[in-house]
């Protein structure tokens, strides 16, 4: 992909393009934001690394010494469980000369030993050994541990934030708690995880998730079962019927509670959350080929209401939670025109593959749908990178969250204080 010139495009140009785009609300983003390295750097410094991001689930690190990595752009974070059981988010960059101290995506260790000059770190990031450095009077081992960033867990979901001044995520999580807690994700099991790399800027991957205007045309299987592929006025009776029966049929108080704190309505910067419950079409108890259950009921659920809990948890992560399984979606920038979409399937903690669920059945719908998304997102990327692309008018009923994301994004970039260009 040819990038827009970046040596001459500084923060002034970025702000000017953002301010110009603000004059056209309810329109797609200009191509500049998908192609400019200056915009991408602002995305990372002003948005991504100031936000609460889903890193993983506690079941990935059940024992002291366990760890996994989460890679964002060119950065890698080690999520580790230390000897005392505490969980840490460590920057995978040695405090000597910066080499990555850990290469494996996940595993179990007593220490991290840098492969370059052999400095040794504990699972909590503290420096345990630095060869021959004791001779250096000005060297302080106590302040030479791996850098750590903020971390919070809720229902076993681990979130990280690289901004030391970021707002506490708890207050945003509290607002979706009544609907999220009953799935009891803290004791759930990750049945499957899959990363779908896509050749597109992270915003294109995310924006695709934020609207279901494309569902009827791009996702035939999904559209058969999930009612939000239809315009809201058409499905209002279906939704009203779901809301009337949901609590009675699931046995879950709070299952129909809602909260809208996403993007331009977030409770504090980087803390975007929402939740809602929408209807599946008649005959569908869950997201499966035939509408029949694919796993044992989750947590506090005692039955099926024909609905799905729709959640945003931080600006880049989402969940679609059915009574018998939960599906988490995460979008991660990996470069200006490269992103990872990760899908995580959760089932009840004591469910056994082969006995209680078949992986193929469990993952079929969202695997199929994500492959379809990967295709349309990559086509979208090719189109917006054309010099002749012009942002079009968005459909306000289907694309209202997309409209709100774009407003939020432009507001941040239009006012962002970037370092002066070299």
Positions in the binding site for ligand FES (CB under 6 A): 94, 96-99, 114, 116-119
Strand order in the sheet with 157-161: 53-57, 157-161, 148-154, 87-91, 75-81, 66-72, 106-108
Q: Which does 119 bind (CB under 5 to 8 A by kind): Fe ion, ligand FES, none?
A: ligand FES
Strand, coil or helix: 11: helix
Nearest one of 289, 331, 287 to 309, comparing CA atoms = 287
Smallest distance, Å, CB 110 to ligand FES? Answer: 17
- The whole-angstrom separation of Cα 342 and Cα 68 is 15
Q: Which does 207 bind (CB under 5 to 8 A by kind): Fe ion, ligand FES, none?
A: none
**172: CB partners within 8 A, 6+ apart:** 52, 261, 266, 267, 268, 271, 272, 273
Smallest distance, Å, CB 227 to Fe ion? Answer: 15
CB nearer ligand FES, residue 96 or residue 150: 96
Angle at 239 between CA 157 and CA 398, to 5 degrees: 75
Q: How far is CA 53 from CA 13, 71, 109, 332, in A?
A: 29, 12, 25, 9
Q: Which does 188 bind (CB under 5 to 8 A by kind): Fe ion, ligand FES, none?
A: none
Smallest distance, Å, CB 139 to ligand FES? Answer: 13
Q: Which does 373 bind (CB under 5 to 8 A by kind): Fe ion, ligand FES, none?
A: Fe ion
- The whole-angstrom separation of Cα 120 and Cα 140 is 14
207 binds Fe ion (CB under 5 A): no
Answer yes or no: are the C-beta atoms of 205 and 375 closer than 8 Å. Answer: no
Q: Which does 102 bind (CB under 5 to 8 A by kind): Fe ion, ligand FES, none?
A: none
* Footprint (CB under 5 A) of Fe ion, residues 367-386: 373
Q: Which does 303 bind (CB under 5 to 8 A by kind): Fe ion, ligand FES, none?
A: none
Residue with tokens 């979901």: 157
Q: Which does 147 bind (CB under 5 to 8 A by kind): ligand FES, Fe ion, none?
A: none
CB nearer ligand FES, residue 97 or residue 292: 97
Smallest distance, Å, CB 131 to ligand FES? Answer: 8
- The whole-angstrom separation of Cα 390 and Cα 409 is 18
Token pair belonging to 292: 């029949």
CB nearer ligand FES, residue 120 or residue 216: 120
Answer yes or no: are the C-beta atoms of 127 and 144 closer than 8 Å. Answer: yes
CB nearer Fe ion, residue 110 or residue 379: 379
HEC string of 40-62 equals HHHHHHHHHHHCCEEEEEHHHCC
CB nearer ligand FES, residue 99 or residue 417: 99
Smallest distance, Å, CB 159 to ligand FES? Answer: 28
Q: Which does 97 bind (CB under 5 to 8 A by kind): ligand FES, Fe ion, none?
A: ligand FES
- The whole-angstrom separation of Cα 243 and Cα 256 is 6
What is the DSSP-derived secondary structure letter of residue 393?
Answer: B
Smallest distance, Å, CB 137 to ligand FES? Answer: 20
Smallest distance, Å, CB 119 to ligand FES? Answer: 4
CB nearer Fe ion, residue 151 or residue 308: 308
What is the DSSP-derived secondary structure letter of residue 134?
Answer: G
Smallest distance, Å, CB 218 to Fe ion? Answer: 6
CB nearer ligand FES, residue 97 or residue 393: 97
CB nearer Fe ion, residue 81 or residue 226: 226
Nearest one of 365, 339, 401, 363 to 211, comparing CA atoms = 401
Q: What does the binding site for Fe ion look like in residue numbers (CB under 5 A)? A: 373
């Amino acid at each position: 992909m040819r990038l827009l010139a970046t040596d001459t495009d500084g923060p002034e140009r970025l702000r000017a393009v953002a301010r110009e785009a603000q004059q056209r609300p309810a329109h797609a983003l200009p191509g500049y934001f998908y192609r400019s390295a200056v915009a991408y750097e602002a995305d990372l410094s002003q948005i991504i690394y100031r936000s609460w991001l889903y890193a993983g689930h506690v079941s990935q690190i059940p024992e002291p010494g366990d760890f996994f990595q989460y890679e964002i752009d060119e950065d890698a974070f080690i999520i580790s469980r230390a000897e005392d059981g505490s969980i840490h988010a460590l920057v995978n960059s040695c405090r000597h000369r910066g080499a990555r101290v850990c290469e494996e995506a996940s595993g179990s260790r007593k220490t991290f030993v840098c492969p370059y000059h052999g400095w040794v770190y504990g699972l909590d990031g503290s420096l345990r050994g630095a060869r021959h450095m004791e001779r250096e009077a000005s060297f302080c081992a106590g302040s030479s541990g791996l850098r750590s960033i903020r971390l919070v867990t809720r229902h076993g979901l681990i979130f990280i934030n690289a901004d030391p001044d970021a707002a506490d995520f708890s207050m945003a999580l509290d607002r979706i708690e009544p609907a999220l807690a009953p799935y009891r994700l803290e004791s759930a099991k990750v049945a499957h995880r899959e990363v779908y790399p896509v050749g597109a800027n992270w915003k294109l991957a995310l924006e695709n998730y934020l609207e279901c205007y494309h569902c009827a045309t791009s996702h035939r299987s999904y559209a058969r079962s999930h009612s939000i592929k239809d315009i809201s006025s058409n499905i209002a009776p279906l939704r009203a019927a779901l809301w009337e029966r949901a609590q009675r049929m699931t046995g879950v108080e709070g299952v129909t509670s809602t909260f809208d704190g996403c993007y331009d309505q977030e409770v504090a910067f980087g803390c975007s959350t929402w939740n809602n419950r929408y209807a599946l079409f008649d005959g569908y108890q869950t997201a499966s080929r035939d509408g029949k259950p694919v796993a044992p009921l989750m947590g506090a659920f005692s039955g099926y209401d024909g609905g799905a809990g729709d959640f945003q948890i931080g600006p880049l992560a989402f969940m679609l939670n059915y009574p018998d399984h939960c599906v988490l979606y995460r979008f991660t920038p990996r470069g200006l025109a490269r992103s990872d979409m990760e899908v995580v399937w959760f089932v009840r903690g004591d469910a056994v593959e082969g006995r209680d669920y078949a992986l193929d059945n469990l993952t079929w719908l969202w695997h199929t749908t994500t492959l379809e998304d990967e295709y349309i997102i990559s086509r979208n990327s090719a189109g917006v990178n054309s010099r002749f692309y012009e942002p079009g008018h968005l459909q306000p009923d289907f694309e209202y969250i997309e409209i709100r994301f774009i407003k939020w994004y432009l507001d941040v970039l239009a006012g962002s204080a970037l370092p002066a260009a070299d």
